[in-house]
Amino acid sequence: MASAETIAVEVAYAKPDEQVILKVELPLGSSLRQAVEQSGILERFTQIDPQTMKAGVFGKLKKLDHILQAGDRVEIYRPLIADPKVVRKQRAAAGKQMNKGSGAPRKGD
Q: At 54, give phi and psi (nearest 5°).
A: -105, 140
C-alpha distances in Å from residue 28, one per residue of 43, 46, 60, 72: 24, 27, 21, 12
- Per-residue pLDDT for 105 more than 60? no
Q: Where are the domains of the chain?
A: 6-89
Per DSSP, the three-state class of 55 is strand
Question: How sure is the predictor about 91, in pLDDT bands with cuts at 50, 70 and 90?
Answer: confident
* pLDDT for the residue numbered 54: 95
- Topology (CATH level 3) of domain 6-89: Ubiquitin-like (UB roll) (3.10.20)
Q: Rounded CA gap, 33 and 47, in Å?
A: 16
pLDDT digits over 22-64, tens only? 999 999 999 999 999 999 999 999 999 988 999 999 999 999 9
Q: Is the pTM of this model over 0.75?
A: no
For the chain, what is the radius of gyration of the CA atoms? 22
* Residues in the chain, overall count: 109
